Amino acid sequence: MENGSLEDWLHPSVAMSKPETLRNLNFFQRLNVAIDVAHALEYLHHRCEMPIIHCDLKPSNVLLDGEMVGHISDFGLAKILSGEWPNNSTNESSSLGVRGTIGYAPPEYGMGSELSTNGDVYSYGILLLEMLTGKSPTNERFTEGLGLHNFVKTALPDRVVEIIDPILLQESVRGGIVADITLNENNLGNDIHLQCLNSIFKIGLTCSTESPSERMDMSNAITKLCSIREKLLRPTRLRRGI
């Protein structure tokens, strides 16, 4: 699509990193894309005649059109759940190898568990954390015992400013005005931008928890993310009398 993949924007190659070609996604753009992807997954899981599991959600499989709307692509590993599997899972195990991409595939697939919509939810959670930290789950700093999930979990809520993508630290949305984020932790509770970032991090953590049964349903994730977006937009509307 016109604007390539989410991977291109989060982790531009050396050739794309030149000042004249540098592209950055601001906070609202990232939030909007996250909501777009959540809607797409919710449709696949709950609104198709038979649920569909994507099985390989990651930034390179999220394409951005000319309006910067996110679209899920590459259904090469996708599975359709037939009516005989009412609990949104299929008896096809992943014992032949991890179905998906390392870092994004849920841990239960590596242990031969059945494919399920919960697996896509895990991948979405990791994707959401990556969009806010700017760090891939396979980042070299993540060694055994410290993955992207735990990296974020140990920083919340008091050290959220330490894990945010530096690009996002340069902006704060207050009534539609972009300003510098104050790194004083005492101001965290009063900064609506940082409050919302913290809330989104928590959604990502819930979606990417190790236990499939404890993960958030995509419908719930959409509701929460849209509520956060509305909270960010509300100061602007109130000031304009809308």
Per-residue pLDDT of the chain (242 residues; tens, 9 = 90+): 999 999 999 998 755 555 545 678 999 999 999 999 999 999 999 999 999 999 999 999 999 999 999 999 999 999 998 765 445 666 554 444 557 899 999 999 988 888 999 999 999 999 999 999 999 999 988 877 789 999 999 999 888 889 999 888 776 433 343 344 444 444 544 578 788 899 999 999 999 999 999 999 999 999 999 999 999 887 655 445 54
The topology under which CATH files domain 6-239 is Transferase(Phosphotransferase); domain 1 (1.10.510)
Prediction pTM value: 0.86
DSSP 209: -
Residue 18 CB partners (closer than 8 Å, separation 6+): none
Give domain limits for the chain. Answer: 6-239
In Å, how far are 79, 142, 175 from 147, measured between CA atoms?
Answer: 27, 5, 35
The residues near 220 (Cβ < 8 Å, ≥ 6 apart) are none
Q: Which tokens go with 125?
A: 């959670």
Q: Considering 8, 36, 56, 165, which one is annotated as catalytic?
A: 56
CA distances from 163 to 3, 156, 188, 189 (A): 26, 9, 14, 17
Chain-centroid distance, C-alpha 160: 16
Active site residue 74: no
Query: In this predicted structure, what is the pLDDT of residue 14?
Result: 54
Task: Report the phi/psi class of residue 68: left, alpha or beta, with left for phi > 0 and alpha for psi in -120 to 50.
Answer: left
User: Please, are residues 165 and 171 in contact by the beta-carbon 8 Å criterion?
Assistant: no
Count CA atoms closer than 13 A to 86's CA, side-chain side.
0
DSSP state of 220: H
> Can you tell me the distance from the alpha carbon of 64 to that of 230, in angstroms, rounded to the nearest whole number?
22
pLDDT of 145 reads 73
